[in-house]
């Protein structure tokens, strides 16, 4: 399987020869110590199953309320959509958009892109929008902040616990699982996806420099 | 430790930030494997980084001084800035959460702005000292940056939760808008900074053993 045999440190520009590294070990730059790559990342199959799981969890996290509150005999339950709508409604459309993008759009597009790519590769077919999807994944990863939302829910619960009867709901548990799934997916450098795609497009492969 | 290292610049090689493939300068401006634009060094990055950073610094003041949330109860109406929100948590006994919110919302953006300014100044002065530590600082900034979004989420959630007419109501306030802007600007600023610039000064001078490893 074609594999680039050189690696350049993104932080200090030093050129390294790629050496195979075992699982759970990372290769670091010899000059600045920044991580270069890790041993055996996620396989195509694992990526696909995690991404599908993530999608299901994300849908559930948004259908079910994140928290429910009771005060003075009345109750209210809140989903992520409600939070975005509140910000929009109260004159903060920019903040509402920011929340919608970081907590919903970016994660959903990330997961869809991963499903699209890994499913096609699993079926031995290099998807037409493969490059576009891989490029998009780099950006989406930066703007996906599901774990911050989870902490936000926790803070909100504690803030109101003195004033009302409040508890996290099913949506929050789904959110917790989603956070774990996304963390696993984002830590991966997608080598198996690139390698599988290279194997399916021999014309385009082998244009990079080998030592 | 010997410092005879080969840099991409010297060998006219560059690594793709999307797919990791290494290609030669003569192969054109795009990565041959994934067609992402690949650059030797981001030429305009220092200017752009300063611009974003100064904008973030300017908006940091209203973000912290203006209220981000208004709470109406039967008895009183209070307006909360980030600080008073933290103080409220502290007073209610949630010291750990007060600390988390304080660090995420007040300290992180401030430290980010100051650290990026420090990195930019040292790069512009061609400093060759402590390059490893400065690189580690940059990686840290990349990592913690997005946690400052915490307060924006909290304000949105509380605003949606507490809608009980005259009994209790929480309304988001404009401070949250500036706050979100500061987070976005600092994230864009750190993304536009090219950490390889830190090492330009080091490569140009005779290597000092203390800077490697």
Is any Cβ of chain B less than 8 angstroms from the Cβ of A129? no
Question: Which of chain A's residues have a Cβ under 8 Å away from the Cβ of B94?
Answer: 158-159
Assembly ipTM = 0.88
With H, G, I as helix, E, B as strand and everything else as coil, classify residue B171.
strand
Q: Which of B33, B90, B135 to mutate to test the interface with A (most CBs of A within 10 A)?
A: B33
Residue of B nearest to A9 (CA): B15
Mean pLDDT of A28-49: 90
Tokens 């909360």, residue? B80
Cβ of B162 within 8 Å of Cβ of A151? The answer is: no
Indicate the pTM of the whole model.
0.88
CB contact under 8 A, B158 and A156: yes
Contacts of A13 in chain B (CB under 8 A): 7-9, 196, 199
Which ranges of chain B have pLDDT less than 50?
1-2, 204-213
Within 8 A by CB and 6+ apart from A183, the residues are A147
Beta bridge partners of B53: none
- Contact assignment for A7 to B22 by CB distance below 8 Å: yes
Dist CA A9 CA B23 (whole Å)? 13
Q: Is the pLDDT of residue A33 over 60?
A: yes
Mean pLDDT of A63-82: 91
The fraction of chain A above a pLDDT of 70, given in percent, is: 93
CB contact under 8 A, A72 and B164: yes
In sequence order, which residues have a C-beta less than 8 Å from that of residue A191 and are 6 or more positions away?
A37, A41, B20
> Which residue out of A7, A84, A95 would a mutagenesis test of the B interface target, given it has the greatest number of B Cβ atoms within 10 Å?
A95
């Amino acid at each position: 399987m074609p594999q680039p045999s050189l690696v350049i440190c993104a932080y200090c520009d030093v050129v390294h020869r790629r050496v195979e590294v075992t699982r759970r070990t990372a290769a670091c730059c010899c000059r600045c110590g920044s991580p270069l790559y890790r041993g055996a990342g996620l396989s195509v199959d694992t990526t696909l199953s995690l991404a599908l799981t993530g999608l299901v969890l994300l849908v559930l996290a948004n259908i079910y309320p994140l928290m429910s509150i009771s005060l003075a005999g009345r109750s209210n339950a809140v989903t992520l959509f409600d939070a975005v709508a509140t910000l929009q409604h109260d004159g903060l459309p920019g903040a509402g958009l920011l929340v919608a993008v970081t907590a919903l759009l970016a994660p959903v597009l990330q997961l869809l892109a991963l499903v699209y790519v890994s499913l096609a590769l699993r079926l031995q077919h290099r998807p037409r929008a493969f490059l576009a999807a891989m490029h998009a994944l780099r950006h989406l990863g930066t703007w996906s902040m599901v774990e911050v939302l989870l902490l936000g829910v926790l803070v909100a619960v504690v803030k109101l616990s003195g004033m009302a009867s409040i508890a996290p709901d099913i949506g929050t548990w789904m959110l917790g699982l989603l956070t774990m799934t996304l963390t696993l997916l984002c830590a991966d450098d997608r080598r198996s996806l690139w390698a599988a795609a290279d194997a399916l497009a021999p014309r385009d492969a082998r244009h990079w420099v080998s030592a | 430790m010997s410092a005879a290292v080969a840099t991409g610049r010297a060998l006219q090689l560059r690594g793709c930030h999307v797919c990791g493939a290494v290609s030669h300068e003569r192969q054109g401006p795009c990565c041959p494997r994934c067609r992402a634009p690949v650059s030797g060094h981001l030429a305009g990055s220092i200017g752009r980084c300063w611009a974003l950073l100064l904008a973030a610094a300017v908006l940091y003041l209203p973000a912290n001084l203006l209220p981000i949330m208004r709470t109406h109860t039967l008895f009183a109406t209070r307006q909360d800035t980030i600080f008073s929100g933290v103080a409220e948590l502290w007073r209610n006994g949630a010291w750990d959460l007060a600390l988390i919110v304080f660090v995420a919302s007040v300290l992180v953006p401030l430290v980010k702005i100051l650290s990026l300014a420090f990195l930019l100044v040292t790069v512009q002065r061609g400093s060759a000292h402590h390059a490893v530590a400065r690189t580690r600082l940059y990686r840290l900034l990349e990592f913690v940056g997005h946690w400052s979004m915490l307060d924006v989420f909290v304000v949105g959630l509380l605003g949606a939760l507490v809608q009980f007419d005259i009994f209790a109501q929480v309304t988001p306030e404009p401070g949250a808008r500036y706050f979100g802007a500061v987070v976005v600007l600092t994230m864009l600023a750190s993304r536009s900074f090219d950490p390889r610039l830190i090492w330009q000064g080091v490569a140009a001078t005779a290597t000092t053993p203390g800077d490697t490893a």
